[in-house]
Amino acid sequence: MGPTRRGFTLVELLVVVSIIAVLIALLLPAIHKVREASNCVSCANNLKQLGLALHDYHQTNGCFPPGLVSSGTNVSDAEASGFTYLLPFLEQDNARRLYQFDAPWYSQDNYAAVSIQVEVFFCPSNRSEGRMDLARIAAEWNTPLPPFAATCDYAFCRGANGALHRDWLRIPLEVRGVFNIVPSDQGRPGLRLSDISDGTGTTFALGDAAGGSASYLVRDLTDPSRPAIDPVTGQPPVLEQSWGAAGVGDASHPFYGSVFAVTAQYGLEPDPRDEPMNRRPCTPTVNGADGRGDGRSGKDFISGFRSLHQSGCNFVFCDGSVRFVAENIVADVYRALSTYAGGESLNQADF
């Protein structure tokens, strides 16, 4: 008679399962860390492509594109965004051909164009696709809008000032960013590389602006510590923006992000009203009808830079280089990086 074969007891099986569960629990953070590191690199590659597109546009047109182009005084309804102008330099010729620049972004002629999702506009740490359903907004505003607008996770640097007046020259020079709102009839719509007196290698062009994430709820404009409540849904709204929806929110609809981001709402002493990186809840972009146009009154707001990366954001600088900047950066340095003629002396060791 041969030897009997002994199987696992229930206790032994439970011990093995427990050990495996512990090992998985120990491995998951490491796997997540590796995945996020990969996503952060992919995000940096997206911004590198956007930086190359900016320089190709500059070489072709003699300047950078505008951030927003508006033919009217109400910048809530602009014609096109800087992302729209970059489309042919990002191998998006079809979307560029569909877009009608002589009509507002919400014109029926542009319905198809603004719904096109562009892969390079999405940060891999946040999402790979996304569209805004505009049906509710169209009903609330009682105006025709495209059914959908494709979203975006990056924003043009507007500097250290949140003013949204159509005349961007009202913003003090030392707090202006490279990308602004310009009238459609302005001869040269964007800045040249030679205008960036602070140095192209220390001046932000674009950066992370994660949209559609529950990590970034819209803040109450009267109380930065708590999220706003959408009166229609009764819930805190999530900050979102579109590359093609060329406009900003207004004081009665303060829930949108836009194609701009800033490092401060005023930028000047004694109270620059800093807009920290990765702020939670997040400031929406709001045209509050600031008649001065310099941000002093505090009626206008522009969202800050934000990401789902670990403790910071990726930025492409005006020389085309890409760097990760930590969210604990000194506020003065952060503001200085966002302006092109502030007169500050910075080097890469400062950030």
- pLDDT for residue 197: 96
- pLDDT for residue 253: 84
**Above 60 in pLDDT, residue 4?**
no
- pLDDT for residue 29: 64
3-state secondary structure 153-184: CEEEECECCCCCCCCHHHCCHHHECCCCEEEC
Cα–Cα distance, 351 to 326 (Å, whole number): 8
Higher pLDDT among residues 23 and 83, named by residue: 83
How many CB atoms neighbour CB 17 within 10 A? 10
pTM passes above 0.85:
yes
Question: Over the stretch 17-68, which tens digit does the pLDDT of each residue have?
Answer: 777 777 676 666 655 566 778 899 999 999 999 999 999 999 999 999 999 9
Contact assessment for residue 177 and residue 158, using Cβ atoms and an 8 Å cutoff: yes
- pLDDT for residue 302: 97
Cα angle 242, 248, 251; round to 5: 135
DSSP letter for 270, please: T
Higher pLDDT among residues 128 and 142, named by residue: 128
Average pLDDT, the chain: 90
**Above 60 in pLDDT, residue 190?**
yes
> Distance from CA of residue 133 to its chain's centroid?
19
Q: Which helix (H) or strand (E) holds 93?
A: helix 93-98
- pLDDT for residue 12: 65
Highest mean pLDDT among 26-40, 130-144, 328-342: 328-342
Average pLDDT over residues 232-254: 91
Contact assessment for residue 212 and residue 151, using Cβ atoms and an 8 Å cutoff: yes
Residue 27 tokens, joined = 């491995």
Average pLDDT over residues 128-139: 91
Cα–Cα distance, 209 to 279 (Å, whole number): 11
Could you tell me where the DSSP H helices lie in 3-75? 10-61
- pLDDT for residue 188: 64
Q: Which residues pair with 249 in a beta bridge?
A: 286
Higher pLDDT among residues 348 and 148, named by residue: 148
Average pLDDT over residues 246-262: 90
Cα–Cα distance, 76 to 250 (Å, whole number): 7
**Above 80 in pLDDT, residue 152?**
yes
Higher pLDDT among residues 268 and 3, named by residue: 268
Average pLDDT over residues 320-331: 97
- pLDDT for residue 34: 61
Please report, as a single letter, which amino acid is at residue 130: G
Confidence of residue 324 (pLDDT cuts 50, 70, 90): very high
Confidence of residue 214 (pLDDT cuts 50, 70, 90): very high
E strand residue ranges, the chain? 68-70, 80-81, 131-133, 148-150, 154-157, 181-183, 204-208, 219-220, 223-227, 249-250, 260-261, 286-287, 312-317, 322-326
Average pLDDT over residues 152-166: 96
Residue 69 tokens, joined = 């182009």
**Above 80 in pLDDT, residue 16?**
no
Label residue 128 exposed, middle or buried (CB < 10 Å: 0-12, 13-18, 19+). exposed
